[in-house]
């Protein structure tokens, strides 16, 4: 996986504690600092964490012995002996990430450094349960074999990114509609547990995309921001205090459900006015196969005339939604990404910037509008982040989601 653009300003996170009995917190803190800021020697980690050098040295030794950290090349300064930076060991932890989308499913395995080791994909008109779980079973077995016993033993879990109430997003009729509606009574965690004994973590698909952007993309540059991911149906996520905030029931940042007004003047949700299913409808009307939108690698050059009006409508809707979001929390930035080519993403961001200047912004502090840089794989990558973060990294919002 490409780790994205260089980020000049990476905000730091909270300090540690040296009292007895908080080893797990301090281990997570040091791992989080290395993940966020990159390789650094123990002296720098001690300064950033607010821990004593002996405490940091002892923790680093334990983490290295556990295979979670490795030593980098010694760095010679002007005086004194060379310092040895510590870094996350890519093979120290692996995690599966599963995205169940409305047009495709992806299963990947990601290492501790955020690199994708292997990935499998299947496409479909609609995600029927047995097709999806059959794909998962085959792909887990295939990838586990490719990894080999030693690496497979390092897999810490499987994260699953799926739309909230997926059964509500179908225009199917007849027997196919009944099959699709069966998602309502399916316990995804239990079905995955029949395939693998690994711990299973379920997350909203757009929240997972937000997590990927926050960990490996532009999100490192901001403390608090809202995130829009434009897929077949638009969704979103929010970041507070350097951590993705899922909320009490895991549905915080459900930005696709923001109120909007359709062309007919009727009340709509953002999913009805700023999603790729609207572009699919435009292509169908022009007798163009909408499946072309989801082919990899993506190339939308053949139907630019249909993409352009969709971009303008979506840009306007996202501009209004951005302001509505900032009326609740004064986010410093709005990040926008989606399941489309990078050139389309850049064009969309520019249109949002243009449209937001024409809106009524009384009483609001305008956020900066920025492009994400993870792209269509964000949901699967974010899903893979779930087990890793729950077991190894620090969640600075842990106290905000208590019921």
Decide the pairing of beta strands 225-230 and 200-204.
unpaired
Using the predicted structure, report yes or no on whether residue 177 has a pLDDT greater than 80: no
C-alpha to C-alpha distance for 217 and 205, rounded to whole angstroms: 17
pLDDT of residue 280: 94
162 vs 396: which has the higher pLDDT = 162
Chain-wide mean pLDDT for the chain? 89
| 25: three-class secondary structure by DSSP | helix
- Per-residue pLDDT tens over the stretch 184-212: 899 999 999 999 999 999 999 999 999 99
pLDDT band at 263 (very low <50, low <70, confident <90, very high): confident
Model's pTM, two decimal places? 0.87
C-alpha to C-alpha distance for 35 and 87, rounded to whole angstroms: 8
Q: Is 265 exposed, middle or buried (0-12, 13-18, 19+ CB in 10 A)?
A: exposed
| Alpha-carbon separation of residue 342 from 274, 300, 370 (angstroms) | 17, 11, 13
C-alpha to C-alpha distance for 248 and 123, rounded to whole angstroms: 32
| Alpha-carbon separation of residue 385 from 86, 97, 177, 391 (angstroms) | 21, 8, 33, 10
pLDDT band at 171 (very low <50, low <70, confident <90, very high): low
How many helices (H) and strands (E) in the chain? 12, 14
Q: Does residue 297 have a cis peptide bond before it, meaning omega lies within 30 degrees of 0?
A: yes
Using the predicted structure, report yes or no on whether residue 403 has a pLDDT greater than 50: no
DSSP category for residue 40: B
| 28: three-class secondary structure by DSSP | helix
pLDDT of residue 18: 43
- Per-residue pLDDT tens over the stretch 38-87: 999 999 999 999 999 999 999 999 999 999 999 998 887 656 677 899 99
- Per-residue pLDDT tens over the stretch 107-117: 999 999 999 99
Residues 6+ apart with CB under 8 A from 220: 7, 10, 11, 36, 214
Whether 246 contacts 401, CB under 8 Å: yes
């Amino acid at each position: 996986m490409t780790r994205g653009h260089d980020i000049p300003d990476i905000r730091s996170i909270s300090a540690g504690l040296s009292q007895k009995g908080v080893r797990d917190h301090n281990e997570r803190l040091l791992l989080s600092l290395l993940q966020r800021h990159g390789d650094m020697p123990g002296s720098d980690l001690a300064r950033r964490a607010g821990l004593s050098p002996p405490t940091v040295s002892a923790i680093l030794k334990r983490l290295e012995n556990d295979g979670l950290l490795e030593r980098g090349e010694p760095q010679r300064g002007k005086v004194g002996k060379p310092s040895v930076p510590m870094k996350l060991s890519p093979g120290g932890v692996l995690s599966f990430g599963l995205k169940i989308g409305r047009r495709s499913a992806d299963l990947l395995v990601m290492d501790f450094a955020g690199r994708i080791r292997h990935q499998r994909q299947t496409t479909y008109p609609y995600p029927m349960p047995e097709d999806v779980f059959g794909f998962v079973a085959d792909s887990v077995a295939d990838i586990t074999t490719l990894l080999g016993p030693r690496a497979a033993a390092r897999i810490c879990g499987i994260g699953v990114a799926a739309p909230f109430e997926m059964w509500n997003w179908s225009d199917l009729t007849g027997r196919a509609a009944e099959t699709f509606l069966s998602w309502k009574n399916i316990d995804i965690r239990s079905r995955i547990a029949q395939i693998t004994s690994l711990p299973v973590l379920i997350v909203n698909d757009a929240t997972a995309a937000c997590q990927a952007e926050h960990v490996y993309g532009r999100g490192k540059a901001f403390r608090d921001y809202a995130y829009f991911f434009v897929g077949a149906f638009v969704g979103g996520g929010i970041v507070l205090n350097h951590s993705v905030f899922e909320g009490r029931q895991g549905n915080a940042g459900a930005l696709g459900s923001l109120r909007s007004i359709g062309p007919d003047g009727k009340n709509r949700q953002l999913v009805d006015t700023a999603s790729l299913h609207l572009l699919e409808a435009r292509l169908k009307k022009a007798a163009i196969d909408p499946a072309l939108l989801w082919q990899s690698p993506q190339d939308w050059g053949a139907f630019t005339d249909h993409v352009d009006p969709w971009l303008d409508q979506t840009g306007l809707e996202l501009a209004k939604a951005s302001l509505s979001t900032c009326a609740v929390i004064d986010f410093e930035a709005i990040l926008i990404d989606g399941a489309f080519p990078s050139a389309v993403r850049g064009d969309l961001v520019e249109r949002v910037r243009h449209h937001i200047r024409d809106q009524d912004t009384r009483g609001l502090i305008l956020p900066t509008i920025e492009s994400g840089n993870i792209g269509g794989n964000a949901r699967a990558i974010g899903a893979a982040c779930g087990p890793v973060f729950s077991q190894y990294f620090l969640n600075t919002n842990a106290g905000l989601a208590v019921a």
